[in-house]
Structure 1
Amino acid sequence: MLSVDIEAKLGTFHLSATFESSAGVTALFGRSGAGKTSVVHMIAGLSRPMRGRIAVDDMVLYDSDRKIDLSPRQRRIGHVFQEARLFPHLTVRRNLTFSHWAGGRTASMPFDEVVELLGIGKLLDRRPAKLSGGERQRVAIGRALLSGPRILLMDEPLASLDQARKSEILPYLDRLRREAAIPIVYVSHSLEEVARLAETLVIISDGKVEAVGPVGEVMTRLDLGPATGRQQAGAVLDGRISSYDEEWDLTHIDVEGQMIEVPAVRAEIGEEVRLHLRARDIALALEVPGGLSIRNALPVTVLEITHERGPYAEVVCALGAQRLRARITRASLVALGLKPGQPVFALVKSVAVDRPLASLDVERDNDGFMSR
């Protein structure tokens, strides 16, 4: 459990952050300058709040009332930055074990387990100059894990990578989320990364925490538009691989008993996956239409509608126990006569669904598609 309740003044910028999270990934999301990195620096002990308290489980890292302020070394924080910051003169192996032979720290995870988890076994004898950007970041994550941390802080770890390198490293981050038994704080201004990785989402705007909660709930809240941004707004749905259509190269994913088709994801039947659906990619219909290329028509119930002056309306719908969000025009809202409690169909293009993170035992062919 990570508990944060702090206030700070950084020049003219006032920061106030209060949230709690448990094992898994807690994402700090917000626009540039919102205060995300400042919060991470205070957790790590790299800067000091004016007042408050920070604790990981029973270990108090900072408490202004009790005059507790542990040094960064005493806090045992694993920190991964935008840049890998590897030692260029050391091999990958020596970079990974640096905390042990330089600082005497004992890793909580075995060396071989970390190497296997991050898929860096073939890189151990190389130096950083011979690695791709994604490989360097995986080594940096491994070094942080092998430092025996109480918590792992990841400050925009993919920000310096291009889209191809991000796609390379995301499955490893997802596996880290599922298998590493320590809390992870993940800072990002990319809702795509947050949607794929986080269990808990903390929205920060202008130095204040605007919302905290499960990622699926927070992403569909209609009162957070200024903080999340209209273009990135959407929802996440958790499901399981149900079947694979070899003829058409489509994967069927069971979400709340409904099947969603997505392209080219090969994984074990029954494997859990997460789908990210953008609000702008979902249409609503009163009945299942015919003669369309859209193959996913999901029966949902309207929960909430909001619309202001302008062309758009935001509609939150329930799909079983999960929620999705659609952006339609106000003209369509009136034409359909939508209201809370009304059953409708959410229409989702298969090609509009962000490809879910699947197993790591896959390779990409020349077109970038996953294949075993």
Structure 2
Amino acid sequence: MFTRPHDLADAEVAAALIWGWDLDVEDVEHAPLGFGSHHWWVRDAGGTTWFATADDLRTERRHEDEPLAAPFARLRAALATAAALSEAGLGWVVAPVRAHDGEVVLRVHESYALALHPRVEGETFPWGPFEDDAHRRAVVDRLLELHGVAGCREEVGSDDLLVPLADELRGTIDDPGRRWGAGPFASDAWELVTTHADRVRALLDRHDALVAGADTARFVLTHGEPHRANTVVTQSDGVVLVDWDTVLLGPPERDLWRLVGEEPAVRRTYEERTGTVLEDRLLKAYALGWDLADIATFVRDLRHPHDDDEDARTAWQGLHAAVINHGVDNSIGGDLPSSQPPG
């Protein structure tokens, strides 16, 4: 996230790192990076720099009444799987550092889940399509290796292929109520949702039709968001992948839809090297599901109390783009929604 959490101070992050990881913390500095988790650079007394992330479990619930233990369990399973992959020899998996009790993530207060990662030295990239074919091919190579892993599945969850918060979104567009007034972007969000309710409803229905009957026998270990911003090019290990909180068993299309959309040759490469034929409908479903997840998340955020800060502005811009700007990606044959920065 770009804005500091109002109920999690730097000193509390430092105290949790000292307690959970026996880290001799010298300094913590909030890092306004990305959209989703909160981040801090952490320097210990020996001069080593670490990267800490805190997920607000309240924003990760799949419905308003879901206990916070559920998103915590999902996050823990994903990060534990990443740690297992790294420990099994996949050095390009930037996994969390285990705490002194062996756990990969710890609760802070009731609402946050804290993880610690090593700092990765290398070239980082902003959100957007791959600009270098060699970079993209290196990521495809990583995904081929990941999808071929037979173990490391003891704790990983499976993709249910549903859009997060879809039921809540359907309820909102069916009955948005009076114009929202919980923050500076609430009224405009209400106007956008009510004006385009039929369009959003049709997109939800289309997504459900695309994923119906998906074959779970095709499921492999997937990263979930192997886009350019989640890669670092290092001197020692080449391309490494970060942000493993989205790891799930799922169809290979979960990792490949964006790459195929950017470069159709990725599809041929993957199919030739694996013998697995990628399904058009699932490539389309994941592209559509990305925007629908953004719409659902941003609607939830903007109809509830919020301030005029960078996070809220990003949510409003993302909501408008996801609802209005739908392009056509002929490389996989059909209308695909525009992609927004990760949430």
TM-score range, shorter chain: under 0.3
Structure ranking higher in helix proportion: 2
> Could you state the TM-score of these two structures normalised by the residue count of structure 1?
0.25
Larger radius of gyration between Structure 1 and Structure 2:
1
> Could you state the TM-score of these two structures normalised by the residue count of structure 2?
0.26
Higher relative contact order (CA 8 A, sep 6+): 2
